[in-house]
Amino acid sequence: MIGRLNHVAIAVPDLEAASATYRQVLGAKVSDPLPQPDHGVTVVFIELDNTKIELLHPMGETSPIQGFLDKNPSGGIHHVCYEVDDILAARDKLKAEGVRVLGNGEPKIGAHGKPVLFLHPKDFTGTLVELEQA
């Protein structure tokens, strides 16, 4: 079921500083900040040869990233995103295995315009997992 690693998302307290680190220190291809009001985040995309890194910064008062940064003030890995061929089939299989799907269980359109779902970190050794339709 599990496919490619689509991205690793890192929550950062200072988007400009984090972007500069990836651009100047690591020499990575770094996008401009992209506001995603529906998800309560501003995202910077970093293109690597084999996957992507997404820098997440809270947007608005009720951002889901703010609580994470309150607990991890210097930032940290927020989630990993795996591709699946059929997100509804993957969801149904995971639910049958007892995995908790977050939200109402229906895929939402994610940062890349494709359907995504999030899975409970306690079901994946403490890591929030995002599934994205390949």
Residues with catalytic function: 130
Output the smallest distance, CB 29 to Co ion, in A.
18
Q: Which two tokens stand for residue 63?
A: 């951002």
84 binds Co ion (CB under 5 A): no
Binding residues with Co ion: total (CB under 5 A): 3
CA distance 23 to 27: 5
Output the smallest distance, CB 34 to Co ion, in A.
13
Spell 6-27 as b/e; 16+ CB within 10 A means b. bbbbbbbeebeebbeebeeeee
CA distance 70 to 19: 20
Closest CA to 111 of 94, 98, 129, 130: 130
- H or E element, residue 47: strand 41-47
83 binds Co ion (CB under 5 A): no
Of the candidate spans 25-33, 58-66, 69-77, 80-88, the one that interacts with Co ion by CB under 5 A turns out to be 80-88
131 binds Co ion (CB under 5 A): no
Among 12, 52, 65, 130, binds Co ion (CB under 5 A): 130
Output the smallest distance, CB 61 to Co ion, in A.
21
Residues that bind Co ion (CB under 5 A): 9, 81, 130
